[in-house]
Structure 1
């Protein structure tokens, strides 16, 4: 056993209402639940992580994550690194965020470029674009695949009509189209204004063919979250920049932690493929940790972090200054579900 690097660790559980119902694949969320891991090192510095499984996307529940997080944190607090290959993805993100925090020694003060999320072309979204003030982002992210392809194409055109021609869209279909539907959609929109489409169909082997037939590039997201996913599949299946792969979208809560994301990021950068970190409706603390990862990999890339706009209180549980604790008021607003003090 190595010397325990921590004095103690605690796990808090939060429950936060959303500003409006959030439709996912098979469920609609009205609130978000998650876990905050707090670990205090031997120098008295506080380090934080978050485990917030996302229904329909995570294979673990919050209850399952809570049990495993307690076991893994106690193991880590006692000076023994847990086997990260056995951890749930959300738990791996929480534990490895602590390791990432220790390795950094400080938080970067700069802000990552923004890529705001648009959920459609309803009246509020269109008014938001029409009333836009200040500098435009390089890209917006727009959800598609929830309607017929003709309706989705019309939504894209409505948005494009309201933003400068220099601003592009990166689209996210969440594997909702068939191959023929993806082709039909791509032929109805100005491909030159589309940076890429994330996961256009459930079959990733179809993506290069979609690019050949329509010229629209694609991004990998859910494909990277498969438990059996291996980076060698990218080579076997022809996922290369020249075959239309424009970006790997890394969601630490779903992909499986910091180290796996950084490994994929290193592979992608060597292939001149964009590395886009993205949130999964975590609290402000988790989103800030993902922003720090994005800045660590590429300070100029715009991560997808606009999911906080879905919360009634977007600022709930902000990441404190490096080494500082969360406020007592904030901690009292969450349920402390576990505490462990190392033997010294």
Structure 2
């Protein structure tokens, strides 16, 4: 099931950076931004109404007007670095790392990130990687040199359906179908299972799997002893896959589910806090999921994400990328990471529409695809 990917994490970075490039005397600052949801966003772990994200700014002393932006967006109740003093941690990293000369060749850049930012702060790693790459490319919100940024090449995405009562979820589904999505992802596990199945039946009674791809995301809502029976029921709706049917950390039960499930299983939360090639390989070889779902904010940034993909490709495991409810700054970075691969699966990159007060951006979603429109500008204040 692996998607085509001929370029490893290491060789890809080598192709992106000229030899011996250095950003000298770099200074960092940040500001918090309270994102407000347009509606109550329900998951099996609770309801989100707002979330604070932290925007990192990187510039060089000799040219303060050119700024690279990154985003640290710890996800409440899930991110390793969802901690009460997160703002103080951001301030501490900005202060201690300001004034540094940062090598921008592949090996030097990776080493600088790994040496200075602990893997226990995955969203902060992602913010620093992104801000420095943006600064390196001239402070124009370019993270990588790909056709997504340069010429607006589109990336297919899924339409995300949030939990709520049956009527609310049905209204979301109809809206996504009207907007031209051919892949719908439904969060399940919060309302009555029979009602969720009725929603799936309603879609399947109108659209075959060749017309509409259906994914579901349980966010670990099923108990291990009930999971297989529910997967057997869900498989009747010709679903593409289910994300994280049981909670992470139950490796034996998850491995057994992947062996016997009639429905393809994707690991999501299971990847959080798994460090290094040995641990990652051990997890994937033990469970052998059909897919993995990658959120750079949660798994440790760009380098860690590409290392997961290298392993997945080697083991014949499919993958797709998903945002972790970042603002458009982080979403843009994730889309650009995704665009460095030839992955034809729909990605989870439609979350920029969730907020009342997102940053204006050139990201445009049309008929189930996201693109970067250079005719539109960024609206990043402060």
Instruction: Give the structure-2-normalised TM-score.
Output: 0.73
* Deviation for aligned residue 1:91: 0.4
> Which digits, 9 at most, give the CA deviation of each residue in 1:226-260, with x for residues without a partner?
35682132355141xxxxx2211111111111111
Q: How far is the alpha carbon of 1:143 from its aligned partner?
A: 0.7
Is 1:68–2:89 an aligned residue pair? yes
C-alpha spacing 1:64/1:162, structure 2 compared with 1 (3 Å) = farther
Residue pairs, 1:167-186, within 5 angstroms: 167-186=212-231
Query: Closer, same or farther in 2 for the Cα pair 1:35/1:220, shift >3 Å?
Result: same
1:149-160 aligned at under 5 Å gives the runs 149-160=193-204
288-297 or 35-44, which moves further after superposition? 35-44
CA contact (8 A) 1:73 1:95 kept: no
Report the alpha carbon displacement of residue 165 of structure 1 after superposing the two structures with TM.
Answer: 3.3
Question: d(CA) in 2 for partners of 1:21 and 1:235?
Answer: 34
Shift of 1:48: 1.4
More displaced stretch, 258-267 vs 15-24? 15-24
Matched, 1:114 2:147: no
Task: Give the structure 2 partner of residue 303 of structure 1.
Answer: 347
Shift of 1:88: 0.7
Which residue in the other structure is 1:89 paired with? 122
Deviation at 1:93, TM superposition (A): 1.0
The aligned residue for residue 9 of structure 1 is 28
The CA distance in 2 between the partners of 1:159 and 1:309, in whole Å, is 23
Match of 1:198 in 2: 243
What's the RMSD between the two structures over aligned residues? 3.1
**Shift of the alpha carbon at 1:305?**
1.7
Q: For the residues of structure 2 that align with 1:301 and 1:76, how far apart are their CA atoms?
A: 39
Aligned residues: 321
**Separation in 2, partners of 1:193, 1:111:** 27
Superposed displacement of residue 111, structure 1: 2.5
| Residue equivalent to 1:290 | 334
Q: What is the match of residue 258 of structure 1?
A: 302
Report the Cα offset of residue 60 of structure 1. Answer: 2.5
1:169 positional shift: 1.4
Equivalent residues of 2:158, 2:181 under 8 A apart: no
TM-score normalised according to structure 1 size: 0.80
1:156/1:133 Cα in 2 relative to 1: closer, same or farther (>3 Å)? Answer: closer
Asked whether the equivalents of residues 166 and 196 of structure 2 are also in contact (C-alpha less than 8 Å), the reply is no
* Counterpart selection for 2:280 from 231, 235, 249: 231
- Tell me the alpha carbon deviations over residues 80-110 of structure 1, each in whole angstroms, 9 at most, x when there is no partner: 5352334511101101113444473573432
Does the residue aligned with 2:130 lie in a helix, a strand or coil?
A: helix
What is the aligned partner in structure 2 of residue 279 from structure 1? 323
1:6-43 CA-to-partner distances (Å, cap 9, x unmatched) read 55332121112211223345553221211111212567
Q: Over residues 179-204 of structure 1, what are the superposed CA-to-partner deviations in whole Å (9 max), with x where a residue is unaligned? A: 23222212223457211111111223
Deviation at 1:125, TM superposition (A): 4.2
Change (3 A) 1:142 1:128: closer
Matched, 1:35 2:84: no
Q: CA deviation at 1:276?
A: 1.0
Q: Matches of residues 135-146 of structure 1 in structure 2 within 5 Å? A: 135-137=180-182, 139-146=183-190
1:34-86 Cα shifts (integer Å, max 9, x gaps): 11112125676432110011111123246633333333344165125352334
Hey, what's the Cα distance between the residues in 1 that align with 2:209 and 2:74? 37
Distance 1:30 1:192, change over 3 A: closer
1:23–1:29: 8 Å Cα contact kept in structure 2? yes
Q: Could you say if the C-alpha distance between residues 23 and 119 of structure 1 is closer, same or farther in structure 2, counting changes exceeding 3 Å? A: closer
Give the whole-Å Cα distance in 1 for the aligned partners of 2:232 and 2:287. Answer: 23
2:125 and 2:45 map into 1 onto residues whose CA distance is: 25
CA-CA distance at 1:4 after TM superposition: 4.7
